[in-house]
Structure 1
C-alpha cells in the first residue's frame, strides 16, 4: 500500500524582545491572536516560535530608586508630562490587547538576568511559559524581575527546579546566549523591539495588529504547499 504524505516544514518565528518593553508584550498578544485566527483554517499553518534577547536599557541598575515616570524623565531625559501621556497611551493600547498594565506598580530594573532565565527555560522546554510569566509579573503585577531570588520564584511557577535555576543564574552560564542573540540582532540591523523574523527572511517591526500576522502566515503557508515535495511511503 502506498501513501503520499505532504511533508511541510513549520514556519519559524524568531522574536527579539525585552521583557521590560511594553510594546513587546502587546506584540506577543497580537501574534497569539493571529495564531488563534489561522488555527481554524482547514490547512492551518504550523509554526515554531523562539524568543531572543534584546536589552532596551542595559545600563539600568538592578534596583532603580523611583517609578517608571522617574526613570524615563530622569534617566532618559524625557519631560514628565510627555512621559505621563506616553504611558497613558500605551496603557490604552495594552487594554485593547487584553492586558492590564500597572505602571504605578512597575519596578524598573536591569533585565539581563531575566534574559538568562529565558535561555535556561528554553533549554528546559518552557521558554514560552517563562516569557509570559515574566512579562505578566513585570507589567501587570509590579513584581521585581531583576534579582535572582525573585526570578527563581517566578521560575518555580512554570515548573522549573529552583536549585537548577539558581545555579544557572548565579553562574551566568547563559550570558553568552544572551550576547549571541544581541549580536544577531545587530547583524539583522534591529534597532527596536519587538521585531519578528519570519523564516529567517521576512521582518515585521513593532506591535502589529493580529491581522498582519494572519496575512503573513497564510501567505507563507500557501507558498509552502505549492513548493514542498511529497514524501512517499510504501
Structure 2
C-alpha cells in the first residue's frame, strides 16, 4: 500500500536538501507518494539579508558542509546565498501538474546545493524541468501564471494551519510528522509505523 509523504520545504534550505536525499533513498525501496509543498524561509518580497545575518550563516556553513559529507555522503556546492525562491516554487507547482513534481523538486535542490546554480533565474529552472523530461521553452509564461503563485500561497497557508514553524517538515500518511533533517532510520521507522497502522475509516 502506497503511503503519502507530504514535505514542506524551501529549495534554499540546506536541511531540506539533506532530507531529500533520505526521501529519495526511501522511495527506491518503498511504495511512497511524495508531494512537495512550498515554504519560504524568507517570505516573498523580503529585503536582502543584512551583514550580521550573512556572517551568522557563514559561521554555520562549515559545520553543515561537514555533516552533509559525513552523514549523507554529499559534497555541498551551494548556489548564491540570499536569493528569492518564489519562482522555483511556482515552477514546482507547474511540474507537479505535469506529473513530475518529485523529480523536478529533486532536480532544483541538486542544482542549487550540488551545482551552485542560481535557481532564481528562469533559464536555470527551465534546465531543471527539461532534465526531467518537461518542455519548459515557455518558462517565463509559466512563471507568470497566477494559478501557480496561488498554489504556492495555498501551501504556505496550509503550513500555518498545521502550525509548521520550520522546515523540513515531513508528514507521513497525513498523521505522522517528522521535523528536521532526521537520520534515514527515523524516516524508515515512521513509514513502517504508517504501514502497520492504516487510517481508520
Matched, 1:222 2:189: no
Query: Structure 2 stretches of 5 or more lacking a match?
Result: none
Shift of 1:152: 1.7
Match of 1:204 among 147, 161, 178: 178
For 1:30 and 1:149, locate their aligned partners in 2 and report how far apart those are by CA, in whole Å.
28
Deviates more, 1:113-122 or 1:83-92: 83-92
Report the TM-score, using the length of structure 2 for normalisation: 0.88
Larger-gyration structure (1/2): 1
Matched ranges for 1:42-191 at <5 A:
46-58=31-43, 59-60=45-46, 71=49, 74=51, 77-78=52-53, 80=55, 82-95=56-69, 96-103=71-78, 106-191=80-165
Distance in 2, matches of 1:200 and 1:48, equals: 12
Alignment partner of 1:162: what SS?
Answer: coil
Q: Which residue number in structure 2 is paired with residue 32 of structure 1?
A: 24
- For 2:128 and 2:57, the matched residues in 1 are separated by 29
Q: Deviations over 1:50-72 (max 9, x none)?
A: 000001112456xx7xxxxxx4x
Unaligned runs of 5+ in 1: 1-7, 40-44, 65-70, 230-234
Kept in 2, the 8 Å contact 1:18–1:193? The answer is yes
- C-alpha contact 1:118 1:131 (8 A) present in aligned 2: yes
RMSD of the TM alignment (CA)?
2.3
Paired residue for 1:21? 13
CA 170–46 in structure 1, closer or farther in 2 if over 3 Å, else same: same
2: CA distance between counterparts of 1:204 and 1:34?
14
2:197 counterpart SS class: helix
TM-score if structure 1 supplies the norm length?
A: 0.76
Structure 1, residues 183-229: CA drift from partner, whole Å, max 9, x if none?
000000011000011121221100110110111111221233xx889
CA apart distance, 1:47: 1.7
Number of residue pairs aligned between Structure 1 and Structure 2: 199
Which residue of structure 2 aligns with residue 195 of structure 1?
169
How far apart are 1:32 and its partner, in Å? 2.9
1:16-64: CA deviations, max 9, x gaps?
A: 000000000111112333445xx3xxxxx53211000001112456xx7
